Amino acid sequence: MTPLAAEAITDAGTGQLVLAAVLGIAVVVLLIAWAKWHPFLALITGSGVLGLVAGAAPGDTIDSFTTGLGNTVGSVGVLIALGSMIGAMLAESGGADGIVNRIVNGVSGAALPWAMAGVAALIGLPLFFEVGVVLLVPIVLLVARRTDVGLLRLGIPALAGLSVLHGLVPPHPGPLVAISSLNADLGLTLMFGLVCAIPTVIIAGPVFGNFIAKRVPLAVPALLETAGDRSGSGPAGGQDFVDRSDLANPGSPGELVDEQVRGRRNPGFWAAVLTILLPVALMMARGIAEVVLPEGDSVRTAFEVIGEPIVALLAGVFVAMWALGYRAGFDRKETSAVLGGALPPIAGILLIVAAGGGFKQVLVDAGVGNVIADAAQDANINALLLGWLVAVGIRVATGSATVATITAAGIVAPLATTLDSPTVALLALAIGSGSLFFSHVNDAGFWLVKEYFGMTVGQTIKTWSVMETIISVVGFGCVMLLSLVV
């Protein structure tokens, strides 16, 4: 977890700190949205501007940034890597395909959109949004071609299931960053996130999908790829975690993956489900134990250990190696290649998250968070509403849910120290909900969905952008309702 500042790195007044925060955030937004810089460089530059305008010594600004960066990588980076490994095994072993086919083939007609939302939410637990899209969209297109169910009635629920889990439920990067920045309890955040995810997926998925499908007629585009051949030909350049060279014999550089794994078996539906749900169950068990059992209880202590996020996700990786890798016919070298191949695709995400942690720490160490917290308290602004609004603003300006989450968490972090544990968990979810608000042309996900579904920009705004806004509003509404009872 990232500590709050023990001592401010500047003695600037309130006006100067507010100006520093505004200019620092403006630099990040402009460099990402206008100059098209990579968010990693934009966040580093914005941190420097923030420290400079706040009157902090350059050395103190650098120390603050590197401290935040290191703490974020230590608390969040390892979890992202382990989650990515589980997702890679799920994708490469055929486990994800097995889940999709089992559920979709078991239902028909009006139940198909609900099944698609359910399967998207299930496989969305360990998979990054983009990977989930690459896995699910070909299935959506195939099912839409074979049935009389409209494309958007199937596609919107699938996208909603993936997006909600990506924004609200750890171990995805956004929720993990918010949890780390606010020192929130992961078990409580996970439980509350799943509670909010259910109605949010239903409303933004099957309900909205049925509504918008009647108003945006959309033909099924030509299949971009088959479900069994995801080699990166999609419009987003999406590809398997394991490239053709990852499994190749070092002594035979021309040998392709397909030749080596031609005997691959499907690991089975329940093996894949067990692998996905095990880390979630362990982390939830810890949260429940901390609520119902007294401190010092041996059972609670045991659950606190096995439910520690790094332990739970590591257990998931170990189970995936056997339940998915071994059962799919991978040998030790192939399993190692799959796990290793999961790491390069997340390098950019890790760098953005790490730099965001550094930016957040400069905000905190400069005292900006305290200024915002004092102003919010004086104005009697609800902390959950403030976190959601800040995340919405940064999201719409930059198009990055991760940057929105990091920045909003840094600004409201001092407020979190005045809240009880359940409310801090809800604050993390409020920020996560705000980070999903109205995806539009500055968001890579917008273009990913547009191209895969063969839509125009206008159609994508009417469907995908509105769906994301519904997710944000409904998710935040659920958070506010939970705040009344916890």
Residue 7: the pLDDT is 67
pLDDT for residue 267 is more than 50? yes
Which string of DSSP letters, residue by residue, matches 5-32?
A: PSS-S----HHHHHHHHHHHHHHHHHHH
Q: What is the mean pLDDT of the chain?
A: 83
pLDDT bin (cut points 50, 70, 90) of residue 250 is very low
pLDDT for residue 473 is more than 80? yes
Residue 144: the pLDDT is 81
pLDDT for residue 240 is more than 60? no
* 442: phi then psi, degrees, rounded to nearest 5: -90, 10
Structure tokens that stand for 433 in this block: 């909900």
The identity of residue 142, as a single letter, is L
Which string of DSSP letters, residue by residue, matches 393-405?
A: HHHHHH--HHHHH
The DSSP symbol for 235 reads T
Structure tokens that stand for 353 in this block: 């998250």
pLDDT in tens, 366-376: 888 778 767 76
pLDDT bin (cut points 50, 70, 90) of residue 2 is very low
pLDDT for residue 225 is more than 60? no
pLDDT bin (cut points 50, 70, 90) of residue 134 is low
The DSSP symbol for 180 reads H
Task: List all residues 6 or more positions away from 442 whose beta carbon is below 8 Å from its beta carbon.
Answer: 32, 33, 398, 399
Kindly report the pTM of this predicted structure: 0.74
Which string of DSSP letters, residue by residue, matches 188-214?
A: HHHHHHHHHHHHHHHIIIIIHHHHHHT
Higher pLDDT residue, 485 or 250? 485
For residue 379, give the H/E element and its range.
none
Tokens 């917290």, residue located: 373
Average pLDDT over residues 220-242: 43
> Which of 222-236, 396-410, 465-479 has the lowest average pLDDT?
222-236
pLDDT bin (cut points 50, 70, 90) of residue 51 is very high
Higher pLDDT residue, 243 or 154? 154
Higher pLDDT residue, 322 or 267? 322
Query: How many CB atoms within 10 Å of residue 184?
Result: 27
Query: Could you tell me what percent of the chain has a pLDDT over 90?
Result: 35
Give the separation between CA 170 and CA 29, rounded to whole angstroms: 26
Task: List all residues 6 or more positions away from 169 whose beta carbon is below 8 Å from its beta carbon.
Answer: 125, 175, 190, 193, 194, 197
Higher pLDDT residue, 225 or 37? 37
Q: Buried b vs exposed e over 80-119: b needs ≥16 C-beta within 10 Å?
A: bbbbbbbbbbbbbbbbbbbbbbebbeeeeeeebbbbbbbb
pLDDT bin (cut points 50, 70, 90) of residue 308 is confident
Give the separation between CA 428 and CA 413, rounded to whole angstroms: 10
Residue 350: the pLDDT is 85
Structure tokens that stand for 314 in this block: 């590591």
Residue 156: the pLDDT is 96
pLDDT in tens, 168-205: 988 777 888 899 889 998 889 999 999 999 999 999 99
CB–CB of 179/170 below 8 Å?
yes
Higher pLDDT residue, 7 or 421? 421
Residue 226: the pLDDT is 37
Query: Could you tell me what percent of the chain has a pLDDT over 70?
Result: 88
pLDDT for residue 130 is more than 70? yes
Residue 318: the pLDDT is 96
CB–CB of 368/411 below 8 Å?
yes
